[in-house]
Structure formats: C-alpha cells, structure tokens
Amino acid sequence: MKSLDYYKMGHPTMHDELTTILFAANNYAYMDSLSAAKRMIDQAAVLLKPFPNSEFYIDYAIGAAKYSLAAKQYKQGLEHARRGVALAEKLNKTYKRAELTFQMYEMYTALGQYQQALDILSKTIDETPVALNINLLLYYKSMAATYERMHNLPKAHEWLKRYNDVRDSVYPEKLKLDIARIEAKFNTAEKEKHIIQLQAEKQDAIFMQKNQRLMNWLLGVAGLLLLSATLSLIVIYRISKKQAKQKLKEIGQQQELRIANALLEGEEKERRRVARDLHDGLGGSLAGIRIKLSGQYRQQPDARLDEAINMLEGSMTELRRIAHNMMPESLLKTGLQSALTDLCDTLATGQLDIEFQASGIRPDMPHTPQANIYRIVQEVLSNAIRHGQATKILLQCIQEGHVFLITAEDNGRGFDVGSVTGGMGLNNIRSRVHYMKGRLDIDSVPGEGTAINIELHV
C-alpha cells in the first residue's frame, strides 16, 4: 500500500494507475489477502466509473472476476465476467475475451454446473483465432477433468488424448529423448539377455565335460576363471573410462556455465555502468552546456545559437534513449513485468500493435534472470519488427514456480526455419536460453508469420 501511495505522488496516467492497482489486486488474491484485494478492486471501479465503455473496463472485469473466484463469490464473478465479455466482443479484444470466458468456466465448475462449464469452454476453444499451444493444453486438460467429474469417461479420455497430442507437438524434443532413452533400455536388456544365454550355454558345455579326465576338467575351470577375470577387468576398465569421461564432460559443462554466467553478469554490469556514465556524466555535461548557451541566447539572441541549442536538446534526448535501452530504469526499480510493459508500450506505434499478457511473474526474482529475460524478449520483439516487418504481435510471459514461459506470435513475413542459421540476435537468444537451462522452439512459414516458444528455468 505504501508503494502505491508513493506511486500516486508522481501523478501517473489513469492507464498506468489502473494497471498498477489491478496488478496489486491480483497479487493480493494470490496471497489470499482478499480484503486488500477487494480494496484494490473498489479503487479501480471508482477510476472507471466515468468511463463505463472504456477498454480499461475489460481489465477491471478480469481483475474483479479473479477476486470473486478467490473469494468464492461465484455469481458476482460471473456477472463481472459477462460484462467484460460483452465489452471485449464490442471492442474486438479476442484474447481478453478468452481469458474472461475461461474464468467463467472455472466459476461454473466451482458451482458444480459442469454442463455450463463445458459449453463456455467449448465456445472459448472454437472462437480463439490464434491457437496458442499453451492455451490449448490448459483448455483440453480442463475439458478432460470436467468430463471426468461428470463420470463421462469416454469423453474424458477423448479430450485427454487431444491434450497429449498437443503436448507432444509442443515438446517434440522431449519426446525424442524419451524414445531414445526407452530404446537404450531395451537394447541394454537385449544385450543382458544375450549374455545370460551365452553363459548358460557355457555352463551346459562344462556339465557335458564332467566325465572327462580330472586334469582336463581342472584346465577347463582354470580357463573359465581366467576368461571371467579378463572380462571383469575389461568391464571395470570400460566403466571407469566411461565415468571419467562423463565426469570430464560435467566439469566442462559447469565451466562453460560459469564462464557464460560471468560474461552475462559482466555484460549487465557494464551496461549499467555505461548507462549511468552516459546519463550522469555526459548527460550532465550536455545539460550544463545547454544552460550556458540558453543564458547567452537570452542576453544576445542569435538564430545560429538557437539552432545549436535545439540540436543539443535533440542530442540529449537521443542520449537518454540510448541509456534507457542499455539498462531500463523500470527494471531496476519496479521489476520485470513493469519493464516489459514499458518496452511493449515504447515499441508500439500506429502501424504496430503489441498485446502483452503476463501471469504469475514473481517480483522477488533475482536481478540476473530478470535482466536475461528482458534481453530475450527485447531481441524477440526487435526481430519481429525489423526482420519480420510485423504489424501485430502477441507476447505472453507466464511463470509457474521455477519455470518461465515466453510465447511470441506475429503476423510478419515469416521465414524458412531450416534454411536460416541465425544472425547475431538469434544467437544471443540461444546463448541466454542455454545459460538458463532452457529450450527454444521456432515455428515459422514464409508469408504466414512466426511463433516462438521459450521455456526457461529461473
């Protein structure tokens, strides 16, 4: 509450103040601080009272529905959600409408009205224009769970199969690794079976020779023992060699991670230092020069001097922009979600629409992963704008425990993923994803846009 009071002292815009209040309401709801969440919802309602048909009312409806769901006020929550859906349909805000209809599904489910829950979720699946894999996983799994509650096991099995199909398409590399691991276990079992069979044949041969002379029997036993000892030594040697090789590999990987960590931390520290030097050092010097030139201009007005002052002000503006890009102030002061919101607002223009959706981003995340995630998103958006020439971008950032998911879809030119090795920007993304032990998946077709899915461990 104190941070919100300080924030209001800066006279923020209504959109910024409303967004901050609704974020606070969501956080209080997640923390089960329902009374505090209710106060935030009421403050948002007061701000929006003069603007009942504003786009901001949709965000209010989402926050109010989330609070009602947490407070188990399902009927009141359904009413908020219906109003928000009606306004979202009127303003053509499809993604926010889908978020509200899914909340309606959760409330119908909590009320035990499973058929209404199925109807609203089916409509959500049919009317969502962009088939986001993460959303489909949630929708399909919810359909299966609802049918299971209704004891309709065939339908539950059908939707669970759809969920598994989408999950397999989202995680093809994981599926390949699982198949390879199963094949390796199978091959190992076959080899062990073959070895046992060979050993049994040897035992049969030994028993067949038991009536031979005593010396031959002893020589046979000695030979078998020698062979067993040799095989044991070979097996032990190979195991030791494999373990040593694996240990060296692990040491190398740890060393690479330490080096990458040091490089990235050094890069961020250098960015902060350069940004601070530019802003405080060079920026201060330029400001002093401008003040002196302005004083001189007031005493002796001159057109060339006025032109020089205007050029100096333009240079100072460009300097502030460069310093902000190197280390956004909002990332240091208000956290990752606020910095990403500012980034999307800054890049959006009349010809470019960027829709940013965030869920579960924890404000207590350490600074290093926050900076890496910010750079990854910054590079993804930059590629979509510069190379893809997109006019519409949907960005989703979701945190679930120690897993952070980034999904970006655009309607740009697209490209052939198989024929592109990647420039410096894409290589930077891969490097940061590898550093955070993550996974990068790019789906793009020339002329049909690009979809990027990133999974990180924070």
Tens digit of pLDDT per residue, the chain (458 long)? 555 555 556 566 767 777 788 777 777 777 777 888 788 888 878 877 887 787 888 888 888 888 888 888 888 889 988 988 888 888 888 888 888 888 898 899 988 898 998 888 888 887 765 555 567 778 888 888 888 888 889 888 988 888 888 777 666 545 455 555 655 665 666 666 777 777 767 777 776 777 688 888 888 888 888 888 888 889 888 888 888 888 888 777 677 666 656 666 666 666 666 666 665 566 666 766 877 777 777 788 877 777 777 787 777 776 666 666 666 666 777 888 988 998 899 888 889 999 999 999 998 888 888 888 998 998 899 889 988 899 999 999 999 999 999 999 999 998 888 776 666 678 888 888 988 889 999 999 888 899 999 999 98
**DSSP 8-state symbol, 211:** T
Q: Could you give the CA distance from residue 225 to residue 235 in angstroms, rounded to a whole number?
A: 15
173 with 439: CB under 8 angstroms? yes
pLDDT recorded at residue 170: 62
pLDDT recorded at residue 1: 52
The sign of the torsion formed by the CA atoms of 396, 6, 55, 25 equals positive
Q: Could you give the CA distance from residue 385 to residue 95 in angstroms, rounded to a whole number?
A: 21
If DSSP states are collapsed to H, E and C, what string results for 171-204?
CHHHHHHHHHHHHHHHHHHHHHHHHHHHHHHHHH
pLDDT recorded at residue 283: 61
pLDDT recorded at residue 271: 65
55 with 93: CB under 8 angstroms? yes
Tokens in use for 108?
A: 């119908």
420 with 438: CB under 8 angstroms? no
Q: Could you give the CA distance from residue 323 to residue 279 in angstroms, rounded to a whole number?
A: 6
Tokens in use for 356?
A: 């940013």
17 with 8: CB under 8 angstroms? yes
The residue with tokens 């910024």 is 16
pLDDT recorded at residue 404: 95
24 with 40: CB under 8 angstroms? yes
**Whole-number Cα distances in Å, 74 to 30, 37, 78, 103, 158:** 17, 16, 6, 10, 29
**How far is Cα of residue 396 from the mean position of the Cα atoms in its chain?**
7
Phi/psi for 392 (5° steps) reads -145, 130
326 with 341: CB under 8 angstroms? no
